[in-house]
Structure 1
Amino acid sequence: MHVLATGTCLPGAAVDNAALAGRFGMNAEWIELFVGTRTRYFGVDLDSGARTHSIVDLGTHAARQALDRAGLEPSDIDFLVLATATPDSLMPTSATGIADRLGLNLIPAYQLQSGCSGAISALDVGGRMLDDDRRIGLVIGADLCAKHMVLDRDISGMPPATLVNYMLFGDGAGAMVIAADPTDAVMRIDTVHCVFTGLDSAPGQIIEWFGEADRLSDVTAVREDYKAIERRVPGMSVETAGELLRRSSWSADDIDFLLPPQLSGIMTARIRKEMGMDGAREISCVAATGNSGNALAFLQFDSLAGVIEPGNRALAIAIESSRWIRGGITLEGL
């Protein structure tokens, strides 16, 4: 699986901690110390509450940027795979919405419902779809977390498990054009590893779905067990890195670029320390973009594409706490 180009989309202007704190009555310094995120982007106007972007908007913009960079037209694409935890609707899928916006027809347009690790799952599916007939594909990750932010809510008595969602997350999308042939590729994806590891474990994150019968339910739509995430994700990251190195027959010293999980600025720094690989250059974005779910890995890949050189080796990891899924890939510059 070869990477021809990448693209990204971050909606609107960056929202810093001072603006976020002013809107919701938080302490800006506390956000910096607790989460370590400085800015994030939202597909909603915090002043008016008006929705400014959809998943289809974000995914289409990122896809067009990737296609432009690859020098391709939408008609060159043989399939599309979208990973998201926050689709615009359950039906029709946002994947078909992006395909329609791009003018694509009569091709597979698949959607994977997942969190951060969905980016790796989508690349796994995309890589397996490349064959003699399908030579070029478009893989996208996008999430719109602002739909869960109630702008007029009193957060003074909000429990930490709910309050963290107002500080941690942001919106965005990323895309990658993949191909079976190496011509004009900037990177090659060598190994993809994504497995469920949550047997008999309580989920670390839950996003509810409400239908016509229960949409007025008082159940909290998004819940986090942040302590469990802090406790489990670093070890899962180390395990995933070891598995990727074993499968690639690489050593830790072979890694030129490390793309660690992007949970938050604080958590990413902690994970990076436990993973070692001190000789590798870190590619991170979460402190500037917020946790944008499925977009994060693609935002990292976009940064990597600008600096990786032929022969350089990179290792990327994405951990999902919803039911404990760990994924990662190895890449090599061409």
Structure 2
Amino acid sequence: MNDTGGVSGRSAALAAAKGRGAMIRAVPLGCGGYLPEKVMTNADFAARLDTSDEWIRSRTGIGARHMAAEGELTSDLATAAARRALDHAGLTGADIDLVVIATATPDRTFPSTATKVQHAIGMTGGFAFDVQAVCAGFIYALSLADALIFKGQARRALIIGAETFSRILDWEDRTTCVLFGDGAGAVILGAHEGEGAPSDRGLLATCLHSDGAHQDILYVDGGPSSTQTSGKLRMQGREVFKHAVAKLAEVADEAMEKAGVASADIDWVVPHQANLRIIEATAKKAGVPMEKVILTLQDHGNTSAASIPLALSTAVHDGRIGRGDLLLMEAIGGGLVWGAALLRW
């Protein structure tokens, strides 16, 4: 936490680092997560729909998920996760100059949920904005924060994935409503000088992709411009599965090649927590054993943009992920949008 003060000071440090052949890395300073108090188990769904615990677990690996209380907003979840990340990093909101929130379920059409969190944590300077890339949103937000830190526009960035997907579910559709939960996870990144080598701490590589030709296999059937309603989530599960396995394996290989590391170098895979079958198939293609995969979907369900930072925070705080561990994070969501990031903790 020995960053120079102000954007001009950061720019000078960046120039000096480049002059020495070094580079600025976005290094993790802390993380935190938040889950709403209410839990819905598979048994709760079986009591009201034609489904069962065995049906849900065998197809998804999910056993329970958390649901936001009435009046509990995405910004409330995001703020709680942000405060825990700040506590973990030993920082206050005043130490942050960038907030990026990945969410597909903002409080309002505008202003951004990020500006609400900015105010709630006492951040009085800098800037804040939302990113909408659904389940891949956290990877997109990381990539943006990394670029802004590298360019000297921010010193410390708070990146949050936060969702209240319970508000856009069709509760009569057993193929989708059993999959999703609510929650938020946050990571704080700070500018530090690295050597430009794979052994550096911080973000080593990010890779982002999209293909709008597949919009109709995972989407929400509403929006301000089209229906003037928020709409409900719709999904063609088999098509999503097919694309997810292939694209996540490809982008994982791309990120490792970009960073100059191999699958044997990976300490932990922290995947988007969507479906156990997708996670297992992707890990196998990437050459990473399941013993190195962080799993939380059994307790959290699919929390979209929140799933990776929630899983990351869980594993950091229970001691599995430690300083210097190399993490592969990957996600795919509606759009289709997908991406991967390599981060040395």
Residue 301 (structure 1) aligns with: 312
Question: Could you tell me how far apart the structure 2 residues matched to 1:136 and 1:23 are?
Answer: 46
Q: 3-state DSSP class of the match of 1:165? A: coil
Determine whether 1:134 maps to 2:151: no
Q: Choose which of 167, 188, 212 in structure 2 pairs with 1:177.
A: 188
How much has 1:2 moved relative to structure 2? Answer: 0.4
1:250 paired residue among 230, 236, 261:
261
Amino acid at match of 2:189: I
For residue 206 of structure 1, give the secondary structure of its aligned residue in structure 2.
strand
The whole-number CA distance in structure 2 between the counterparts of 1:279 and 1:285 is 13
Q: CA, structure 1 residues 216+229, in 2 after alignment: closer, same or farther (shift >3 Å)?
A: closer
Is the Cα contact below 8 Å between 2:283 and 2:290 reproduced in 1? no
Q: CA deviation at 1:25?
A: 5.1
Please tell me whether residue 104 in structure 1 is matched to residue 123 in structure 2.
Answer: yes
**Residue 203 of structure 2 is aligned to residue 189 of structure 1:** yes
| Alpha-carbon spacing, 1:150–1:189, altered in 2? closer, same or farther (3 Å) | same
Of 27, 30, 35 in structure 2, the residue corresponding to residue 10 of structure 1 is: 35
Q: Contact (CA 8 Å) 1:12, 1:43: kept in 2 or not?
A: yes
1:283 match: secondary structure? coil
Question: Residue in 1 aligned with 2:328?
Answer: 315
- CA–CA separation in structure 2 for the residues paired with 1:92 and 1:314: 33
Percentage identity across paired residues of the two chains:
27
State the Cα distance separating 1:27 from its structure 2 match. Answer: 2.4
Distance, in Å, in 1 between the alignment partners of 2:300 and 2:166 is 13
The offset of 1:209, in angstroms, is: 3.2
Q: How many residues align?
A: 312
Match of 1:82 in 2: 101
**Structure 2: runs of 5+ lacking an equivalent:** 1-25, 195-199
Query: Residues of 1 paired with 2:50 and 2:88: CA distance?
Result: 42
Q: Secondary structure at the match of 1:294?
A: helix
Aligned equivalents of 1:303, 1:273: Cα separation in 2: 23
SS of the residue corresponding to residue 8 of structure 1 reads strand
Counterparts of 2:170 and 2:267, CA distance in 1: 42
Distance 2:29 2:62 in 1: 31
1:307–1:28 distance in 2 versus 1, CA, 3 Å: closer
TM-score after normalising by structure 1? 0.86
Distance 1:19 1:279 in 2: 29
Deviation at 1:203, TM superposition (A): 3.5
One-letter identity of the residue aligned with 1:169: F
Distance 1:216 1:300, change over 3 A: closer
| Matched residue type, 2:341 | I
| Higher helix residue share | 2
- Match in the other structure for 1:325: 337
CA 1:13–1:324 in 2, change beyond 3 Å: closer, same or farther? same
In structure 2, what is the equivalent of residue 158 of structure 1? none
For structure 1, the residue ranges without an aligned partner over 5 or more in a row are 45-50, 156-161
Contact 2:113 2:129 in 1 (8 A): no
CA contact under 8 A between 1:203 and 1:324: conserved in structure 2?
A: no
CA distance in 2, matches of 1:170, 1:55: 12
Deviations 1:68-102 (A, max 9, x none): 11111111111111110111110122111111222
Asked if structure 2 preserves the Cα contact closer than 8 Å seen for 1:258 and 1:280, the reply is no
In 1, are the aligned partners of 2:205 and 2:342 still within 8 Å (CA)? yes
CA contact (8 A) 1:35 1:167 kept: no
- Structure 2 equivalent of residue 47 of structure 1: none
**Equivalent residues of 1:140, 1:174 under 8 A apart:** yes
Listed as ranges, the matches of 1:1-334 within 5 Å are 1-24=26-49, 26-44=51-69, 51-130=70-149, 131-132=151-152, 134-149=154-169, 155=172, 162-181=173-192, 188-196=202-210, 198=211, 200-211=213-224, 214-215=227-228, 221-278=232-289, 281-305=292-316, 306-320=319-333, 322-333=334-345
After TM superposition, the score normalised by the length of structure 2 is 0.83
Which stretch of structure 1 is more off in the superposition, 5-14 or 54-63?
A: 5-14
SS of aligned partner of 2:177: helix
Paired position in structure 2 for 1:159: none
**CA contact 2:60–2:276 (8 Å) conserved in 1:** yes
Alpha carbons of structure 1 residues 202 and 146: separation in structure 2 relative to 1, 3 Å: closer
- Give yes or no for contact 2:267–2:325 (8 Å, CA) kept in 1: yes
- Check conservation: 2:50, 2:174, Cα contact below 8 A: no
Task: Decide which moves more: 222-231 or 258-267.
Answer: 258-267
Distance in 1 between residues matched to 2:120 and 2:38, nearest whole Å = 24
